[in-house]
Amino acid sequence: MGDRADILGVDPELFRAWVAARSLSRGVPAPVADHGGWRVDTGSDREHCRYFFAAPDAGLMALGEAIDRPRIFLKLCGDVAALKRLLPPRWRVEATGYFMVGSGAPALPVAIPRGYALDREARGAVSHVRILAPDGALAASGHAAEHGGVFAYDRIVTEEGHRRRGLGRAVMAALGAMRRSPAVPVLVASHAGHALYSALGWTTLRPYSTAEVQEG
């Protein structure tokens, strides 16, 4: 396991804990072990379920051969080329982000522009932060969940019209201040968010890729 993690740059146990924390944050079922990865049965109109893999795996390849309908997603800590090599041509593969870890340093002071208001809420292991604009509209928001030794940041969003004002940094700082233990900060960054998290000192471990069977 150690060699495999070194090659990939992702500890499978860290990844498993992140998947579980993400489910807590989103209020979806807990992950279950399946085909060498982890399956989350989301059951929404857009998505039947998704599988998460910390590394290229024979089980991922077997799923790729067996699944022939959309709304089932395969997620891999690896680049697009690695995921494409494991799947038949009917799968559409996209580079969807980066698996990143934070330093675990103390949270930065929370600073928001004048006129904006910060709202924080914690429910058990799940934290939620909102920043409201002067007119009361939602300007930025984010979630986090603490589980299994990780503190997973999730759905960090700054609404259009409120960007480039430091609100993303403020959301991250506010969530970080709600961390209750020395849990490892983890997130999957979008392409847009990657620069922000890198500037905040986060480390990119691996690209993060997604596959779905093409419709039609």
pLDDT truncated to tens, each residue of the chain (216 aa)?
Answer: 333 433 455 899 999 999 999 999 999 999 999 999 999 999 998 999 999 999 999 999 999 999 999 999 999 999 999 999 999 999 999 999 999 999 877 767 889 999 999 999 999 999 999 999 999 999 999 999 999 999 999 999 999 999 999 999 999 999 999 999 999 999 999 999 999 999 999 999 999 999 999 986
The whole-number pLDDT of residue 6 equals 37
CA proximity to 146, closest of 104, 180, 98: 180
Q: Are 155 and 142 in contact (CB under 8 A)?
A: yes
- What pLDDT does 108 receive? 73
> Given this model, what pLDDT does residue 3 score?
37
Contact 167, 151 (CB under 8 A): no
From CA 24, how far away is CA 151, in angstroms rounded? 11
- What is this structure's pTM? 0.92
User: Regarding the domain delimited by 117-204, which CATH topology (the fold level of the hierarchy) does it fall under?
Assistant: Aminopeptidase (3.40.630)
The amino acid at residue 46 is R
Query: Would you list the domain boundaries of the chain?
Result: 2-97+206-213, 117-204
Strands 203-213 and 150-158: unpaired
Residue 8's pLDDT is 53
The CA-atom distances, in angstroms, between 37 and each of 19, 138, 183 are 10, 36, 22
Cα 67 versus chain centre, distance = 24
| 8 A C-beta contact, residue 182 and residue 149 | no
Q: Residue 148, Cβ neighbours under 10 Å: how many?
A: 18
